[in-house]
Copies of this chain bind each other. A is one copy, B any other.
Amino acid sequence: MTKGIIELDASFISTGNAVGKKEFEGPLGQFFDTHDTDDRFGKNTWEKAESEMQRIAFNMALKKAELGFDDIGAIFAGDLLNQCAGSSYGLLGCMIPYFGIYGACSTSGEGIMLASVMTTHKIFDLCAAVTSSHNCSAERQYRTPIEYGGQRAPTSQWTVTGSGAFIIGDGEAGKVKIKAGLPGRVIDKGINDANNMGAAMAPAICDSFCRFFAESGETPDDYDLILTGDLGHEGASILRDIMQIEGYKFGENYTDCGILIFDKNTQDTHSGGSGCGCSASVLSAYVLPEMEKGRFKRVLFVASGAMMSPDSIKQGESIPAVGHLLSFET
């Protein structure tokens, strides 16, 4: 068996994010860099609005670090839209070497990991990772247009309207270090309910956590914060259960980006947030800044993705999932 952990010596130089109205009204609203009051970001289609969010988030991250497009060696970007069109259109004009990636909601973790590999090994001085999702473009692509008003299942998650961008340098450059990564394996335990992605994703996330703990010798207690993105309430509860069966007890230090971003009681988002923009915006707006302030010293993050397509579900397939793990330290 080959090793799973990739040792990294990278760090976050800066981050940027942009979210929609509902996300701004949620518990983390005050932390986001910018939001739009009608989720349109000045555009006439939801798809263009999603691309525009990526552009805004990436430019925000560059501006904070006083960097220009020419400073970035390569960009890793992806989203939920068919053919990842949110990213290719959103980042047009940057003229930065571009790696398109796809990991559903895990895309942010995949991008940060690959960008960190590049800067750890001095392939480029600086790289960027950018992802997004938009509730309205996702709803009409995966389910039905918003206007249809379909009833949502109790276990369903609410696709976040948001984008997060990360500028990544070598281990000396920024305060929050990226110490290790572990790419996830695609696992399918037979869940075929697209309204319960948390259940489909939990086993893949469990696999990544278990492989990391086994190989590193660490335990959940070695971290101030264990974070998944995005299992939501349903998936996080399942993950706690199956981790305990594997011998790892998650305590109060465990939570999920999909739980953090919305208020369960007042925002009617059922099992919580999801989408490539969920963990990206929560990490960039809340978790990494709190690490800089000293609230969390060591954070273990697994970005989780459900890798089905609307067609594969219609064809009766179950839902494969993947979880990309990263460990952060100040």
For chain A, which range describes its interface: under 10, 10 to 19, 20 to 34, or 35 or more residues? 35 or more
Among B2, B45, B73, B310, the residue within 8 A (CB) of A315 is B45
A22 close to B (CB within 8 Å): no
Query: Chain B contacts of A23 at CB under 8 A?
Result: none
Bound: A185/B94 CA distance, A: 8
Report the minimum CB–CB distance from A74 to chain B (whole Å). 5
Query: Chain B contacts of A6 at CB under 8 A?
Result: 123
Query: Chain B contacts of A88 at CB under 8 A?
Result: 186, 307-308, 320, 322
Greatest chain B CB density within 10 A among A3, A91, A103, A305 is at A103
Q: When the two chains form their complex, are residues B97 and A184 in contact, meaning their CB atoms are under 8 A apart? A: yes
Residues 135-148 of A, flagged 1 when their CB comes within 8 A of B and 0 if not, give: 00000010000000
Q: When the two chains form their complex, are residues B102 and A70 in contact, meaning their CB atoms are under 8 A apart? A: no
Among B71, B97, B186, the residue within 8 A (CB) of A98 is B186
Q: When the two chains form their complex, are residues B1 and A47 in contact, meaning their CB atoms are under 8 A apart? A: no
Q: When the two chains form their complex, are residues B92 and A186 in contact, meaning their CB atoms are under 8 A apart? A: yes
Q: When the two chains form their complex, are residues A2 and B124 in contact, meaning their CB atoms are under 8 A apart? A: yes
Query: Chain B contacts of A97 at CB under 8 A?
Result: 4, 182-185
Q: Which 8 A-B pairs have the closest CB atoms?
A: A88-B307, A97-B183, A83-B309, A85-B309, A100-B102, A82-B82, A121-B121, A102-B102
Q: Which of A29-37, A110-118, A263-271, A282-290 contacts B (4 or more CB under 8 A)?
A: A110-118
A48 close to B (CB within 8 Å): yes
Query: Chain B contacts of A188 at CB under 8 A?
Result: 92
